[in-house]
Chain A
Amino acid sequence: MRELILIALLTTLTLINFIYHSKAKKELNNQIKYSQKLLLLAEKIKSLNKKATPPHFCKQKEKVIICKNLTKSKFYIFEEFLSKVNIKSLDIEKNKTINAKVTIQ
């Protein structure tokens, strides 16, 4: 009789333990999926949120970048920079020289 009680107790304990273990396993799997989702979103945000450094011949004050006396070669560098930033407004003028002013978002 005592043996039967012992086995019954151990079986119950094992069952409880197994249920708890399965729950913990499920919790971990959910956390893995959730973390993967968050990290994927974070990576996507990072890739969309690229910030480029203005060319050395330009001056930046907060979100306004001013480039004066642009030669043809400097203008190409400036154009490449424009392709990497989010443009809010742009103003390029040519008198004797080319001057540009860009406001980024």
Chain B
Amino acid sequence: MKNILYTKDFNQEINEKVNVILTPEFYWIEKLPKVSQKIAKKIVKSFFKELDEKEYNFEVIKIKDMLFGVALPKKLDIKIPKKYINSIKLAQIELFDFDCVKINNNKYLQKIDDILFILPTPKENCKEEIQDIKLSKKNFYQSTNNNILFIALIFAIINISLFLNTISLKKSTSTLYQKTTNYLKSNNLPTTSFELDSIYQNLLVKQKIQNQIKQKLSLITKTPLKKGDYFLKLSFDKKFFIIIKASKSYDPYFKKYFKVKSTYQNNLYKASLQ
């Protein structure tokens, strides 16, 4: 990938991905005292008192055990289409190893007291080619990367929320299963729908039979007895058996509802009802 040493009068047409190396025309730089980077970050603004905080970002960079404060304008106007900019770097970092680098015939980067300046005259042995230099990993104006980070953050939030929701769903499933099982156990019931359904169907059949028995029992107990007649016996075991102290046969009544086998002798009406 091509390295471009970018100046304010840059006028080449770019139609491939490039690494842009900003010359000192685009930033202010100060050498900082030997302090920790943490402290340097706190004090860096004080080295650029004349610059407006609203217009500049202040950063601390470390080059070979030396700390520098850099003021970068928030709005950077580069005449290269964004899609062709791979990275934006600073000449101070990328070309620090050279005492003199040629920009064009009127501009030369020269190192004075560890800081690179643009001067109109060259030094001896000025480097003319910058394509062979090994670039640092430090990038500036990483808006693209910030967008990626933002997207990644959204993805991360979605993932975390989905993951937590999944855990909660799993927990709810397990709790519900436990509750159902406990309820069935406390009522001495089996825990499968197959067994429960079978019990239910059996009970339905039983209920139907019992309803029939009770209906028949009700018909018997509501027999319209003649005055002075009364039941001597009423029993049931698969079928009903009755004995009535009767002044007449009760066949006409019972035959309406039952299959009747009866006798009527000596004022006793005996019948088997089914």
Q: Which residues of A contact B (CB under 8 A)?
A: 3, 6-7, 10-11, 13-14, 17-18, 20-21, 24-25, 27-28, 31-32, 34-35, 37-39, 41-42, 44-46, 48-49, 79, 82-83, 86-95, 105
Taken together as a complex, chains A and B put the C-alpha atoms of A76 and B183 apart, in Å, by: 37
A86: nearest chain-B partner, CB-CB:
B210
Are B217 and A82 in contact, with the CB atoms below 8 A? yes
Give which listed residue, A3, A11, A45, A89, contacts B196 with CB less than 8 A: A45
Number of A-B contacts (CB under 8 A): 125
Are A45 and B203 in contact, with the CB atoms below 8 A? yes
Known: A27-B173, A87-B210. A42 touches B162 (CB 8 A): no
Interface string of B206-219 (1 = CB under 8 A from A): 11001001100100
Are B169 and A27 in contact, with the CB atoms below 8 A? yes
Taken together as a complex, chains A and B put the C-alpha atoms of A34 and B184 apart, in Å, by: 13
Number of interface residues of B (CB under 8 A): 48
Taken together as a complex, chains A and B put the C-alpha atoms of A29 and B162 apart, in Å, by: 17
Are B155 and A10 in contact, with the CB atoms below 8 A? yes
Most B-side CB within 10 Å, residue of A13, A24, A94? A24
Are A35 and B236 in contact, with the CB atoms below 8 A? no
Taken together as a complex, chains A and B put the C-alpha atoms of A37 and B237 apart, in Å, by: 37
Q: Which residues of B contact A (CB under 8 A)?
A: 144-145, 148, 151-152, 155-156, 158-159, 162-163, 165-166, 169-170, 172-173, 176-177, 179-180, 183-184, 187, 189, 191, 193, 196-197, 199-200, 203-204, 206-207, 210, 213-214, 217, 221, 230-237
Are B196 and A42 in contact, with the CB atoms below 8 A? yes
Are A92 and B151 in contact, with the CB atoms below 8 A? no
Besides the known contacts A38-B196, A39-B183, 12 further A-B residue pairs in the complex with CB atoms under 8 A apart: A6-B152, A21-B166, A28-B176, A41-B193, A41-B196, A41-B200, A79-B221, A82-B214, A83-B214, A88-B237, A90-B217, A90-B234
Taken together as a complex, chains A and B put the C-alpha atoms of A92 and B230 apart, in Å, by: 13
Known: A48-B207, A79-B221, A94-B231. A31 touches B237 (CB 8 A): no
Residues of B within 8 A of A92 (CB): 231, 233-235
Give which listed residue, A17, A34, A95, contacts B163 with CB less than 8 A: A17
Are B172 and A28 in contact, with the CB atoms below 8 A? yes
Residues of B within 8 A of A45 (CB): 189, 196, 199-200, 203
Known: A6-B148, A87-B213. A31 touches B203 (CB 8 A): no
Interchain Cβ contacts under 8 Å between A and B, 20 examples = A3-B144, A10-B155, A10-B156, A20-B162, A20-B166, A21-B165, A28-B169, A31-B176, A32-B176, A38-B180, A42-B184, A42-B189, A42-B196, A48-B200, A48-B204, A91-B233, A91-B235, A94-B231, A94-B233, A105-B206
Taken together as a complex, chains A and B put the C-alpha atoms of A105 and B237 apart, in Å, by: 12
Are A49 and B203 in contact, with the CB atoms below 8 A? yes
Most A-side CB within 10 Å, residue of B155, B156, B231? B155
